[in-house]
């Protein structure tokens, strides 16, 4: 009996998120119309989740070292806006605009977060709460609060289109996810992050330069948000100054539902991806059941509490 309970705990620890995902899938396939499980709709769920996947991958890094990044939504908007402006106002080609506007700006905005955290020693929650407002304001100033559109079709096609039946945004998200999975699980840098999240002081005494890692983590978070900015802009066909508002909440929720410990040191990229899919699944499923939007937030919120409480309950059991 004892060994069975123990093994259940171990299985839950590894596959808890997958179990919740399958559970949700089963529930919706019972209550939602049969079209819910159709290939087209599943693709739709993946597409809708792709932006959350992207920023949640970055958010995961910051939570892993027991920090947080609240500025990701604003970074998405600002980098998306800069990318669009580079193409529309300066006539830059798609690749250069993406590299400068999305990749470089994302890294830069993340680096600003990381440097501020390291220099001031203020908790990341406060710093990124501040930069969230600052980056959003910069987006509004830069755009004069107007949406920017009219960029080359190749941009929309490449980041928001469909290629051989596969949504490109999902492709981009998966490429980033695989890359981030490799970084977290196969490199010394990634292992160091788990160790820092597990015990920052021990990590410092073991020779890990904690500050450099914190900086790197925020740059990765910014990079993911920057790429997400390109994807979102492409999908919407315009860079909206007020776009991506509140995305940080979904990113944090996806990471936590995906099994990331809010106190750092625990979690995995595949878990985060499934976490993002669960969020997409709920909103899509409730839509299919014609549940009004307000109730969707209710469901998401309750699921977040339920998933984490269940996880805590199971892992506390001896």
Partner 1 sequence: MEPLVEMKNIRKEFPGVVALEDVSFDVLPGEVHLLLGENGAGKSTLMKILSGIYTPTSGSICVHGCSYDKLSPKLSSQLGISIIYQELSVVNNLSIAENLFVGRLPVKKFLGILPVVDKRSYMKRADELARKVGLTKPVDTLVGDLSISEKQMVEIAKALAVDAKIVVMDEPTSSLTSEESNNLFGIIRKLRAAGIGVVYISHKMQELRAIGDRVTVLKDGNTVATKNMDEISSENEIISMMVGREVQKEFFSEKPVDYDTAEVIFRAEHITRKDKRSNDISFEVYRGEVLGFAGLVGAGRTELMTTIFSGQEYESGKIFLHGKELPIRSPYYSIKNGIALLTENRRESGVFPLHNIRENLVLVKRLLLSKAEGFIGLIHPKADQKVAEYQKNQMKIKCASLDQVITTLSGGNQQKVIVGKWMASDAKLIIFDEPTKGIDIGTKAEMYGIMRRLAEKGVGVIMISSELPELLGVCDRIVVLNEGKLKGVLNIRDASEELILKTATM
Of 84, 170, 203, 234, the residue at the interface with partner 1 (CB under 8 A) is 203
Of 5, 96, 146, 186, the residue at the interface with partner 1 (CB under 8 A) is 186
CA distances from 59 to 31, 62, 67, 70, 305 (A): 33, 5, 9, 9, 19
Give the x-and-dash track for 236-275 against partner 1 (CB under 8 A).
-------------------------x---xx---------
In whole angstroms, the minimum distance from the beta carbon of 65 to partner 1 comes to 13
For position 187 contacting partner 1 by CB under 8 A, the verdict is yes
In whole angstroms, the minimum distance from the beta carbon of 265 to partner 1 comes to 4
Burial class of residue 179 in the structure, from the number of CB atoms within 10 Å of its CB (0-12 exposed, 13-18 middle, 19+ buried): middle
For position 3 contacting partner 1 by CB under 8 A, the verdict is no
For position 207 contacting partner 1 by CB under 8 A, the verdict is yes
Nearer to partner 1, 80 or 267 (CB): 267
Token look-up 């776009």 returns 243
Of 39, 205, 294, 313, the residue at the interface with partner 1 (CB under 8 A) is 205
For position 204 contacting partner 1 by CB under 8 A, the verdict is yes
Beta carbons of 85 and 30 less than 8 angstroms apart = no
d(C-alpha 90, C-alpha 3), whole Å:
65
Of 199, 245, 287, 296, the residue at the interface with partner 1 (CB under 8 A) is 199
Quote the longest CA-to-CA distance of the chain: 69
* Nearest one of 207, 245, 260 to 67, comparing CA atoms: 260
For position 185 contacting partner 1 by CB under 8 A, the verdict is yes
Of 1, 188, 246, 292, the residue at the interface with partner 1 (CB under 8 A) is 188
For position 278 contacting partner 1 by CB under 8 A, the verdict is no
3-state secondary structure of 65: coil
For position 206 contacting partner 1 by CB under 8 A, the verdict is yes
In whole angstroms, the minimum distance from the beta carbon of 30 to partner 1 comes to 38
In whole angstroms, the minimum distance from the beta carbon of 241 to partner 1 comes to 36
Determine the interface stretch with partner 1 among 34-42, 85-93, 95-103, 187-195 (rule: CB under 8 A).
187-195
d(C-alpha 41, C-alpha 110), whole Å:
34
Beta carbons of 222 and 111 less than 8 angstroms apart = yes
For position 144 contacting partner 1 by CB under 8 A, the verdict is no
Instruction: Read off the tokens for 248.
Output: 């940080």
Sign (positive/negative) of CA torsion 142, 144, 146, 152?
negative
Q: What is the CA radius of gyration of the chain?
A: 20
For position 209 contacting partner 1 by CB under 8 A, the verdict is yes
Beta carbons of 77 and 101 less than 8 angstroms apart = no
Beta partners for residue 167, in sequence order: 162
Beta carbons of 295 and 282 less than 8 angstroms apart = no
Determine the interface stretch with partner 1 among 31-39, 129-137, 192-200, 270-278 (rule: CB under 8 A).
192-200
What are the residues binding partner 1 (CB under 8 A)? 185-192, 194-195, 197-199, 201-209, 212, 216, 261, 265-266
């Amino acid at each position: 009996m004892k060994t069975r309970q123990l093994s259940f705990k171990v299985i839950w620890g590894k596959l808890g998120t997958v179990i919740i995902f399958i559970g949700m899938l089963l529930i919706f396939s019972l209550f939602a119309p049969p079209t819910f499980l159709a290939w087209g709709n599943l693709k739709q769920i993946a597409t809708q989740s792709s932006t959350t996947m992207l920023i949640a991958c970055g958010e995961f890094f910051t939570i892993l070292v027991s920090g947080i990044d609240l500025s990701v939504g604003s970074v998405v908007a600002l980098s998306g806006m800069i990318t669009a402006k580079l193409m529309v106002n300066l006539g830059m080609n798609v690749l250069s605009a993406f590299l400068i506007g999305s990749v470089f700006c994302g890294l830069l905005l993340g680096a600003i977060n990381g440097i501020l955290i390291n220099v001031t020693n203020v908790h990341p929650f406060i710093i990124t709460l501040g930069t969230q407002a600052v980056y959003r304001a910069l987006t509004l100033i830069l755009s004069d609060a107007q949406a920017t559109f009219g960029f080359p079709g190749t941009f929309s096609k490449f980041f928001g289109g469909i290629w051989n039946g596969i949504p490109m945004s999902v492709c981009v998200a998966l490429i980033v996810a695989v890359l981030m999975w490799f970084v977290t699980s196969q490199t010394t840098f990634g292992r160091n992050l788990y160790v820092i999240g597990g015990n920052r002081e021990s990590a410092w005494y073991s020779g890990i330069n904690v500050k450099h890692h914190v900086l790197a983590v925020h740059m990765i978070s910014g990079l993911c948000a920057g790429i997400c900015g390109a994807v979102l802009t492409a999908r919407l066909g315009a860079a909206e100054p007020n776009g991506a508002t509140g995305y940080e909440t979904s990113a944090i929720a996806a990471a936590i539902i995906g099994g990331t410990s809010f106190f750092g040191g625990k979690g995995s990229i595949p878990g985060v991806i499934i976490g993002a899919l669960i969020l997409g699944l709920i909103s899509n499923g409730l839509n299919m059941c014609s549940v009004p939007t307000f109730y969707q937030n209710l469901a998401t919120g309750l699921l977040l509490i339920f998933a984490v409480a269940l996880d805590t309950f199971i892992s506390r059991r001896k």
